[in-house]
Every structure is written in structure tokens, then in C-alpha cells.
Amino acid sequence: MAIYIGGDTETLEYSTLFKEANEPHPVKIWRSCAKELIPPSKTGKPNDGWDDYYDKDQGVIDKISKLDNDYYEYNSSSHDGVRESGRYAQIMLEVDLTQYCQDRFNGNNNLLRENFKSATITTYAMGSGVVDAVKYGCEVYVYGWDKWNGDNKNHTNEIKEITFGVDRFQYIQTNNKIYILIKSLHPSDTNITSTLSLDYFNIKLEFKRDPDKVESIDIELTDKWAIQGEFYPSFESGQTSDKVRGIFDIRNTNNVNRFYFELSRDGTKLTLAAMLNYKGIGNAVFDVNFKKWQNIRFVLQRNKKEFTVCILINGELKTQKFTTKDDAITGNLKFDIGSVLGGTFYSNSFIDNFKLYSNQTFSESEMEEILRESKNLIPKFNEKDENGKPLWSINPNTTVSEDGNSIVVNTTIPWANNYIMLPIFPNNKYKLTSVKSENAYFDVDFYYNNIIALDNSSKNENIIEFITPRNCNLVRINCGNREQGTFTFSDLELKLVQ
């Protein structure tokens, strides 16, 4: 199981994408057609919104669930159709962090604000109104210091992206809320309303956190060993950091002698280096290009003075060798996984399948075989979790074999589904294989925190390959049928492909 190492930042993302059907949304939507900017506290009764904010029916979220030109349009007419000059169509987004504050800071608003790092606000909107003639434009604000702040506008007659960032704790109010206002630039007159169209929004918040880490492991090494592993960076290559990202480190207690494996500050170079008495004695440097959360694998080994390093990235195998002038750095050492120098520089990655081979090396063909091999991510149909709960949701019309490798669906109705939800990484290629009856179907759908991100059509192939979208962390694999009858599924495998 992959574990995350590093991460001094916790990110919260709020968007209409991340909402379960019939569940309350953490972002509340208000509307107003006031003649001026009014504070968030000026909320009125339902069906008001004339000189204060009206709590808009949250069903509007369905209109702005994704960037697709199916937008929500609001104009400055009153609820009973009255039109008046000087009104501005306005939509306010209220992000409530109360539950997060309770879970993370025991309800302490001061700690919530002290640990706030930044917010990035993205909206897709347009507005219109009247100044002698119809004019177009809208603007976006965020509330802080008891006023609306911002100068971020779209002056066109098309829905456009407006993105800006803030990094001061004053934007989080003492009630644990953040307020964003989208407002038409131009007012109404008695004939033409001020109008605001909102297609989509995304609010990304970052807070300070203590990095996750694995304590240093005591090991004893000779001058012959090998290490394999893989990692999934939480950033893409080219994204610069103020620190290198350490994948692992083998070192003596005073860090004088080391073997370290790390990504450069800009994430474009992956280096294995040997250091003796603080001086470099050899290295292998790879140019790398990867997307966020993309799988990178490696096998590297030492055989006295000779080092061989193999990495597998984007399906391409890369190999380098180097020879040191000295075969020192043996004996009792510290092994840091997911960091270097005892946690000074973290990988900020998920780390998986680390294995240290003492007194063992491999041929280059064996190294490639290790790198190409992937474990099956799908459990058997009868497996349970540590609490005894079944991992699969099994339909009543389904019989599971004694060994758990297969199921038989015997049903008089279509879509007698059997499914499982599995954690998965975005931006990676996977292959689903099976033995099944000809008229049996698979659904492979992607989710973000149990909220569907991509709903695919059913397939009846025995082999299905797919690349996970960038906004998912779960995959739902469904074994189903389109018509009545008997259907079989067996020997399911889901593997990451490199």
C-alpha cells in the first residue's frame, strides 16, 4: 500500500464537481441585486435579495456542475418581476470551514487563520448591464478587512476564466467562512436588467501542516546491494520548489558519507549520487518529464565500485552506470525512505513497493523484468477488509465461487450489478483483464472522493485499457449485464501499465 511522505501543505478544493447527489454542499450560493457592494452579513429572508442577499436554492449547483456552457443566469429583476435602475446582479459564494476547523484545530478560529497559506479562486462568468447602451463585464471580489477586495474582471461578452490568489489570513472570517462575490460591472435601467452568468467555479485553499514521514531505519550493508521502489509525485515536472525532493537516502549518522536519490528543485532531473567525506564520488542523472501523480519506478544496485541505475517512466526504460573511486560507505547506516538527510528534504510523493536487497544484485534484464511487473489491484470476490466488511458489493442474484476467483450472475433483470471501489492514481495507464461470458459487460467509472468525475459507457471486452483522468482518486469497476440470463466473470486483474 502506498504511503505519502512529506507535504507541508494541506489542500482543500471546493467546486461543484465535488458534491454528492442530494447532499449539502460546503459552498452556499447567495444572490442579490443591490445598488452597491454590501457585506456578507446582510442576508435577507427567502425571496428577498433586493437590497440584501437571498439564499439561492442549491439546485443551481446542477447548472454549474462543470465547465460546459450550461450556466446559471441571474438578473436584477426582483422576485416578483419589478425592474429598477441602478441595480447590479451579484452572486456570493460562502465557503464554510467550520467542520475543517473543528477536525483540525479543535474549533480554534485563531489557529485556522494562523495556518492559512493561500487561496486560489477561479470563476467562469460574464455580466452585462446598461451605460447609455448595453455594456458587458463582470468582476470578482473576496471579503477581508471588513470590505470587498479585488480588481479581477472579464470585460467581454463571453464567459471567460477569472483567476486570482490571496495569501492573508484576514480573508478567513472569525466565523470560519470565506466569501467570494461575482458581480456584473454594469447596472440596470427600467427596461434592461443587469445580468450575471456563472458557468463554473473552483476554490482551492492551502493550509500549513506537519509533513508525514517514516523514521530512519537502521541497516547494515556490504559493498553489494540493490534497491527497488516506485513513487507518485504530488507535482508535475517543471514545478519549482525551494527544496529538492528526496526519494531515499543511505547515510552514516553524521551524514558525511551517503548514497542519495532525489528529484531536483524544478522536478526535471532525477539523480543518484554517492558522497564520501562530503565530496561527490559519482552519480547518474536522468532528465525526466511527468504529470502530477504519475508513476515512476526504479531499480538500482551497487556491486563494489560499480553502480547501475534503471528507471521506468512514461513506459520508457532508462539505464545509466557509473564507477566510484572508492568502495567505502559500508557497515551500519541509516536508511531514509521518502526523504533525505533524516527528513530535511521530503519527496512530497506517495512511496510504494520499496525493497532493499542485501548482498544481492541483478542482471539488466532482471532489473527490467522487476520494473515491468505490476501487482493486481483487484481483490477476490469474497475478500473482506480488516473489519470483516466485504470489499465487493455482490448482487443477490450472484453466486461467488468458493475460491473467490469467479462469479455467476443468474437474473431475470438487466444490470444485476456487482462492483468494487478501488483507490487509484490520476494520470496513469491501467489494464483490466478478465475471463467472462460474451454478453457480460464492464463499467469503469472514475470518482473523486466518492463523487463521480467521469462516467464511461459499458464495454464487453475481455481487455480494457484506460488512462485515469487528472481529477480522480477512485475507480469503480462494475460487472454487469444488459439483459436477463446467466453471466460469468472470473480471473479479474487490474494492473498499472508502464
Q: Is 305 domain-assigned?
A: yes
218: which residues sit within 8 A by CB, 6+ positions away?
Answer: 332, 333, 334, 335
Tell me: do 236 and 334 sit in the same domain: yes
Q: What is the pLDDT of residue 202?
A: 87
Tell me: do 235 and 288 sit in the same domain: yes
Q: What is the pLDDT of residue 235?
A: 94
Q: Is 378 domain-assigned?
A: no
Tell me: do 63 and 119 sit in the same domain: yes
Tell me: do 305 and 199 sit in the same domain: no
Query: What is the total count of domains within the chain?
Result: 3
Low-confidence stretches of the chain (pLDDT beneath 50): 18-24
* Residue 471: CATH number of its domain: 2.60.120.260
Last residue in a domain, options 372, 389, 423: 372
| pLDDT per residue as tens digits for the range 182-217 | 999 999 998 999 999 998 888 999 999 989 999 999
Q: What is the pLDDT of residue 132?
A: 87
Tell me: do 223 and 203 sit in the same domain: no
Q: What is the pLDDT of residue 285?
A: 98
Q: What is the pLDDT of residue 60?
A: 67
Q: What is the pLDDT of residue 247?
A: 97
Tell me: do 144 and 254 sit in the same domain: no
Tell me: do 242 and 118 sit in the same domain: no
Q: Is 384 domain-assigned?
A: no
Q: Is 38 domain-assigned?
A: yes
Q: Is 379 domain-assigned?
A: no
The domain in which residue 352 lies consists of 217-372
Q: Is 67 domain-assigned?
A: yes
Q: What is the pLDDT of residue 18?
A: 47
**What are the start-end ranges of the H helices in 246-376?**
364-372
CA distance 13 to 302: 44
Tell me: do 420 and 484 sit in the same domain: yes
* Residue 335: CATH number of its domain: 2.60.120.200
Model pTM score:
0.77
**Grid coordinates standing for 490?**
472470473
**Grid coordinates standing for 440?**
457480460
Tell me: do 67 and 202 sit in the same domain: yes
Q: Is 366 domain-assigned?
A: yes
Site of grid cell 477561479: 122
496: which residues sit within 8 A by CB, 6+ positions away?
Answer: 295, 374, 377, 425, 428, 429, 430
